[in-house]
């Protein structure tokens, strides 16, 4: 970096060299980041020019960890230990359910240790929270927030929700103390606890530091414990605070959020900050570019242009990425002549094939089920995801035969050898029943991938797999201590979460070349040219909706950080970067993203309205929108003429010896979009119907139908009275469980999560249908899942129709055609025309169709069709009153016209004009919708 870009650090270097050249080793410089330490060390070496003892140069976190007397553990180990404490209070809780809960609790414990002298005051029981009013009687602001919090509660009569909150809140203080004791016993700490221990050691004079003076440089917003630490150091050592702030936002502009800390902190009440914005010149260019890839390419072109025109020195240029997801697109977009690039931020692995493989393995093994013969079965789509992942292809060089899915959604582990080969089957059926075995198994896979990438690929892939394998080795060692407390499913979840959260560190030259940085990595550094990407609201400043157990009101009352302080910190770090900058490019995303829109960051308006007014002509302002050229193709009507091949296929519905029939579903498909009918029923391009490993809507309906069919089947053609139905209600759970086993090839007690809830709902639905039948008993069931075929005379011949009825019963001389529906139904229409023109009425069309087919067999039958609707079972049988003899005759006439248009060679199959019908159509891409 050139000297002009690090002027704040240069200032500290010059002050040190001029005033204390002989006592360098007795001074300790403390900065917010390791990057600032490295730049300072390099600048200092250049400035002195002679060999001498170097001073201490540490980041604040390294200073604390070196002198607190404890080891700061990583999050994985802390979560395991907190889980062990948590189990004392909630022994039934699994680690999988605890994980996100525990992360929030860790963050809260860390924050209260950094901000409060006595955390016990915060964790006071809600039932005693009124006492807080006395603690804050002299602080009207705090008292107001406490009153707001407690005012929502009638403490004498808490609601169930409030009572549960109070009970959990009561436990937090005990968890806090037990967790703290456990950590101290093991000589471990999280960062907040490490700060407390260091402060205690300095206060008790148990610690002798090898320095006579300290310089804190480039900080903003010290936590309360950091402030106390500085005060304690001042009692024994010389302490100097080097601030990097400006009068513009500390005093000139009233209540500017960037100067919030400097106006409220006692530590910052002495310095007279410079007024740099009143002297400097600054060029700001704001550019709106659609999409992340578009922003990256634009930034790459900008770098290339600046280099060609000699408008920028890469050594004084930084690309700032507030959104880490832009890292790879940005690196790929850099011009080829960018020789030296240093990346400060790590590469997030969450959206890479490495994390994808872990997620696929997680689903494969946690979704596996035991069957009666002791064998295991894997779900087809899960195994497919593992084998089709690029790393899975590298490992196994096998793919599942495509026809496997058409036979069963499940694959036995004993059949894997035939399907994918012995090597693949042996690895995938490895017994992984304990947490440490799971970690060992996954690590072995990545070690294997590592060896393969070493031979076949490049250095980068090898670094990634080695990095992941190293993390898995740490987890394996941790799991060995928790094998009894964790399940294999917990281990899979933990591994997935850990890999999703990993960031691969980059190596580079931090003091030369173009710097690609995260926003917070810029602290205490200066650049002449800055290029920000994703300069959008909720990204910079970041959306600070905090995940915490501590309510906002209590956070405010106790002085914990809220979005107000977090926004102020972001504002400071942004405006501080402008102190020495000459050219700033702010690139924001113009893509519309749901209801949140694509708002540029508020900082743009602040610069344009406030800073421009303050700086006048010294602030050069430019603003552009980059539009991607869009070619709007002519929306041609997509159609398929009925040539001889198509007509031959259609004749199959007329031929006497053909098995082709038109169902209600096929006919409503034709009404909705004749081209969709063509794709599915004529061209044979079947709609995707891959089985699911969870109880989705269609599977839910299948289980319901099968359970009711099996219950009533023994009593078909018999009179069913209340006694029989009462016995069926008792057997309902067993029937549903048998239907689940038929669909899933596993027992109901192996279901997990949402599937278990839906299984319970199915049992209740079946019982409620049976209880409705109690009201209508006695009746006789004449058909269960019966199929009836008939013919419809047309000018092209007799067309075959197929009706499949869920249930047909007879009661008091009336035949009821009953259809079980788990979704929404329309049982009436304002006009009959809607039934044969609007697919929204397809369920009513279905009842007309069923009645027509049934009456072709039994023309004198009195038919009363209706639905049992899962969402409206309290209404009993939902009848379709419009289905009567006169209207059925009209429906037959209209249906004849529809079928004749289908067979008319002059009428092509055409795409619907109603684009709403294309929203979920699987053929939308084929017809350019």
Q: What single string gives the DSSP state of each residue in 777-838?
A: -SEEEEEEEEEEEEEEEETTEEEEEEEEEEEEEEETTEEEEEEEESS------SSTHHHHH-
pLDDT of 587 above 90: yes
Q: Which residue has the higher pLDDT, 816 or 133?
A: 816
CA distance 642 to 909: 7
Total Cβ atoms within 10 A of residue 886: 8
Residues 775, 772: Cα–Cα separation, whole Å: 5
Average confidence (pLDDT) over 841-857: 92
159-173 pLDDT, tens digit per residue, is 554 455 455 566 778
Q: Check residue 1 and give its pLDDT.
A: 45
Nearest Cα to Cα of residue 707 among 734, 727, 725, 730: 734
Report d(CA 572, CA 220) in Å as an integer: 8
Residue 492, pLDDT above cutoff 50: yes
HSE at residue 235, side-chain half, CA atoms within 13 A, is 10
State how far Cα 834 lies from the chain centre: 42
- Segment 132-140 shows an average pLDDT of 52
Summarize pLDDT for 176-186 with one digit per residue, the tens. 899 999 999 99
Cβ 85 vs Cβ 175: under 8 Å: yes
Mean pLDDT of the chain: 83
DSSP 529: E
Residues 112/115/120/122 CA torsion (nearest 10 deg): -80
Across 565-571, average pLDDT: 91
Quote the DSSP letter at residue 208: -
Pairwise CA distance, residues 578 & 862, whole Å: 84
Q: Which of 427-436, 694-703, 709-718 is predicted least confidently?
A: 694-703
Among 444, 440, 426, smallest CA distance to 488 is for 440
- Mapping DSSP onto H, E and C, the string for 700-711 reads HHHHHHHHHHHH
Label residue 5 by pLDDT band (50, 70, 90).
Answer: very low
pLDDT range class, residue 3, cuts 50, 70, 90: very low
**Predicted model pTM:** 0.68
The whole-number pLDDT of residue 152 equals: 46
For residues 90 and 454, which has the higher predicted lDDT (pLDDT)?
A: 90
What's the pLDDT score for residue 17?
84
The mean pLDDT of 475-480, rounded to a whole number, is 89
Please say whether the beta carbons of 300 and 331 come within 8 A.
no
Taking CA atoms, 835 is separated from 581, 838, 878, in Å, by 69, 6, 17
Residue 583 has pLDDT above 90, yes or no: yes
CB 290 within 8 A of CB 279: no
Residue 399: predicted pLDDT? 59
Dump strand ranges (E) for 3-130. 27-31, 56-59, 71-72
Query: Who's near 603: CB < 8 A, 6+ residues apart?
Result: 535, 540, 541, 571, 574, 586
Q: What's the distance, Cα to Cα, between the start and end of the chain in Å?
A: 52
Which of 432-441, 480-489, 784-793, 887-896 bottoms out in mean pLDDT, i.e. has the lowest? 480-489
Is 70 exceeded by the pLDDT of residue 224? yes
Q: How confident is the model at residue 556 (pLDDT cuts 50, 70, 90)?
A: confident
Question: What percentage of the chain has pLDDT greater than the value 70?
Answer: 84
d(CA 584, CA 621): 10
What's residue 905's pLDDT? 93
Average pLDDT over residues 459-478: 86
SS (H, E, C) 488-517: HHHHHHHHHHHHHHCEECCCCCCCCCEEEE
Strands 639-640 and 909-910: antiparallel
Residues 6+ apart with CB under 8 A from 397: none
Distances (CA, A) of 928 to 634, 646, 919: 11, 22, 12
Structure confidence at residue 269 (pLDDT): 64
Which of the listed ranges 267-281, 609-623, 817-831 does the model predict with the highest average pLDDT? 609-623
The pLDDT, as a whole number, for residue 374 is 66
Burial 414-453 (b: 16+ CB within 10 A, else e): ebbeebbeeebbebbbeebebbbbbbbbbbebbbbbbebb
Higher pLDDT, 308 or 135: 308
For the ranges 72-76, 325-329, 416-420, 585-589, the maximum mean pLDDT occurs at 585-589
Q: Are 878 and 825 in contact (CB under 8 A)?
A: yes
How far apart are alpha carbons 39 and 337 in whole angstroms? Answer: 25
Q: From residue 775, how far is each of 269, 709, 725 by CA, in Å? A: 82, 19, 10
Q: Looking at 584-593, 752-761, 800-809, 856-865, which range is the least confident one? A: 752-761
pLDDT range class, residue 633, cuts 50, 70, 90: low
Where residue 874 falls among pLDDT bands split at 50, 70, 90? Answer: confident
The whole-number pLDDT of residue 544 equals 66
Handedness of CA 598, 603, 609, 615 (dihedral sign): negative
pLDDT value for 493 = 87
In angstroms, what CA-CA distances link 707 with 284, 702, 741?
A: 69, 9, 11
Whether residue 131 has pLDDT greater than 80: no
Per-residue pLDDT at 142 exceeds 60: no
Judge whether 244 and 8 are in contact, CB under 8 Å.
Answer: yes
- Nearest-angstrom CA–CA distance, 453 and 810: 70
Q: How many CA atoms lie within 13 A of 923 on its CB side?
A: 21
Token pair 């602030």 in the structure block, residue: 619
pLDDT at 148: 53
Beta strands 797-811 and 814-821 are antiparallel
How many residues can be counted in the chain? 929
Q: Quick check: 881 and 828 in contact, CB under 8 A? A: yes
Give residue 655's region: left, alpha or beta (phi > 0; psi -120 to 50). beta
Q: Provide the pLDDT confidence category of residue 127 given band limits of 50, 70 and 90.
A: very low
pLDDT at 338: 77
Say what the pLDDT of residue 830 is: 79
With beta carbons less than 8 A apart as the criterion, state whether 851 and 817 touch: yes
pLDDT value of position 595: 44
Which run of H or of E encompasses 788?
strand 779-794
Q: CA of 889: how far to CAs of 839, 844, 883, 892, in Å? A: 20, 15, 10, 5
pLDDT at 62: 95
| Residues paired with residue 532 on neighbouring β-strands, in sequence order | 320, 586
pLDDT of amino acid 160: 53
Instruction: Give the percent of the chain with pLDDT over 90.
Output: 37
Instruction: State yes or no: pLDDT of 657 exceeds 80.
Output: no
Name which of 662, 649, 679, 644 is nearest 799 in CA terms.
662
Q: Is pLDDT at 45 greater than 90 in this prediction?
A: no
Q: Are 734 and 794 in contact (CB under 8 A)?
A: no
Q: Are 194 and 62 contacting, i.e. CB atoms less than 8 angstroms apart? A: no
Q: Which pLDDT does position 272 carry in this prediction?
A: 76
């Amino acid at each position: 970096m050139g000297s002009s870009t690090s002027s704040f650090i240069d200032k500290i270097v010059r002050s040190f060299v001029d005033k204390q050249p002989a006592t360098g080793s007795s001074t300790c410089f403390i900065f917010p980041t390791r990057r600032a330490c490295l730049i300072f060390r390099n600048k200092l070496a250049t400035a002195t020019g002679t060999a001498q003892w170097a001073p201490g140069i540490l980041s604040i976190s390294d200073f604390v960890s070196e002198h607190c007397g404890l080891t700061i553990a990583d999050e994985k180990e802390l979560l395991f230990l907190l889980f062990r404490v948590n189990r004392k209070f909630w022994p039934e809780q699994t680690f999988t359910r605890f994980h996100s809960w525990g992360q929030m609790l860790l963050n809260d414990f860390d924050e209260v240790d950094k901000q409060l002298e006595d955390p016990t005051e915060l964790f006071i029981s809600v039932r005693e929270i009124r006492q807080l009013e006395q603690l804050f009687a002299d602080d009207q602001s705090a008292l107001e927030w406490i009153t707001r919090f407690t005012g929502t509660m009638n403490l004498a009569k808490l609601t169930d929700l409030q009572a549960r909150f109070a009970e959990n809140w009561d436990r937090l203080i005990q968890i806090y103390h037990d967790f703290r004791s456990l950590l101290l016993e093991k000589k471990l700490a999280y960062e907040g606890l490490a700060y407390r221990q260091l402060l205690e050691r300095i206060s008790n004079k148990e610690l002798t530091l090898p320095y006579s003076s300290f310089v804190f440089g480039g900080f903003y917003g010290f936590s309360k414990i950091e402030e106390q630490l500085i005060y304690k150091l001042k009692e024994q050592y010389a302490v100097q605070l080097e601030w990097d702030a400006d009068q513009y936002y500390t005093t000139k502009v009233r209540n500017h959020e960037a100067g919030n800390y400097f106006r409220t902190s006692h530590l910052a009440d002495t310095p007279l900050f410079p007024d740099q914005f009143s002297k400097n010149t600054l060029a700001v260019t704001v550019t709106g570019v659609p999409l992340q890839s578009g922003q990256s390419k634009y930034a790459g072109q900008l770098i290339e242009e600046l280099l060609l025109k000699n408008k920028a020195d890469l050594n004084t240029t930084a690309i700032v990425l507030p959104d880490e997801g832009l890292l790879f697109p940005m690196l790929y977009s850099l011009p080829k002549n960018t020789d030296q690039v240093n990346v400060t931020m790590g590469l997030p692995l969450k959206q890479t094939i490495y994390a994808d493989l872990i997620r696929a393995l997680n689903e494969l093994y946690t979704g596996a089920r035991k069957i009666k013969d002791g064998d295991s079965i894997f779900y087809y789509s899960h195994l497919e995801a593992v084998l089709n992942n690029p790393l899975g292809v590298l490992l196994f060089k096998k793919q599942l035969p495509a026809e496997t899915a058409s036979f069963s959604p499940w694959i036995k582990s004993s059949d894997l050898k035939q399907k994918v080969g012995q090597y693949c089957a042996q690895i995938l059926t490895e017994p992984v029943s304990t947490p440490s075995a799971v970690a060992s198994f996954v690590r072995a896979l990545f070690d294997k991938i590592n060896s393969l990438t070493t031979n076949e690929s490049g250095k980068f892939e090898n670094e990634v797999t080695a990095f992941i394998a190293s993390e898995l080795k740490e987890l394996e060692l941790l799991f060995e201590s928790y094998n009894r407390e964790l399940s294999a499913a917990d281990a899979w979840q933990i591994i997935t979460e850990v890999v999703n959260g990993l960031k691969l560190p980059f190596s580079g030259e931090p003091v030369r070349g173009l710097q690609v940085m995260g926003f917070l990595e810029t602290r205490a550094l200066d650049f002449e040219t800055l290029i920000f990407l994703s300069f959008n609201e909720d990204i910079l400043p970041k959306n600070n909706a905090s995940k915490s157990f501590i309510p906002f009101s209590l956070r405010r009352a106790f002085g914990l950080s809220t979005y107000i302080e977090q926004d102020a910190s972001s504002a400071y770090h942004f405006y501080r970067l402008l102190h020495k900058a000459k050219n700033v490019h702010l690139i924001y995303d113009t893509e519309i993203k749901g209801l949140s829109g694509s708002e540029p960051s508020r900082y743009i308006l602040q610069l344009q309205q406030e800073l421009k007014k303050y700086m006048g002509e010294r602030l050069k302002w430019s603003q552009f929108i980059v539009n991607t050229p869009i070619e709007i193709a002519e929306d041609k009507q997509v159609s398929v003429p009925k040539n001889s091949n198509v007509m031959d296929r259609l004749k199959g519905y007329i031929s006497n010896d053909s098995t082709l029939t038109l169902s209600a579903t096929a006919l409503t498909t034709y009404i909705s979009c004749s081209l969709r009918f063509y794709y599915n029923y004529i061209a044979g391009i079947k709609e995707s119907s891959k089985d699911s490993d969870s109880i989705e809507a269609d599977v839910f309906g299948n289980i319901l139908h099968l359970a009711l069919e099996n219950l009533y089947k023994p009593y078909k053609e018999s009179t069913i009275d209340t006694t029989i139905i009462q016995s069926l209600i008792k057997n309902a759970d067993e029937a549903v469980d048998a239907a689940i086993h038929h669909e899933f090839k596993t027992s109901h007690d192996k279901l997990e999560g949402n599937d278990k809830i839906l299984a319970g709902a199915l049992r209740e639905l079946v019982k409620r249908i049976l209880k409705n039948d109690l009201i209508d008993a006695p009746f006789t069931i004449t058909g269960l899942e019966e199929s009836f075929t008939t013919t419809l005379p047309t000018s092209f011949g007799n067309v075959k129709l197929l009706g499949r009825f869920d249930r047909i019963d007879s009661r008091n001389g009336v035949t009821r055609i009953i259809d079980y529906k788990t979704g929404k139904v329309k049982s009436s229409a304002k006009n009959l025309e809607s039934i044969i023109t609007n697919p929204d009425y397809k369920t009513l069309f279905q009842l007309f169709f069923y009645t027509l087919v049934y009456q072709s067999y039994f023309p004198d039958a009195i038919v009363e069709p209706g639905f049992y609707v899962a969402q409206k079972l309290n209404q009993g049988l939902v009848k379709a009153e419009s289905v009567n003899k006169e209207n059925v005759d009209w429906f037959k006439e209209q249906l004849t016209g529809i079928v004749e248009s289908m067979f008319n060679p002059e009428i092509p199959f055409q795409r619907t004009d109603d684009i709403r019908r294309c929203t979920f159509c699987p053929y939308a891409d084929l017809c350019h919708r």
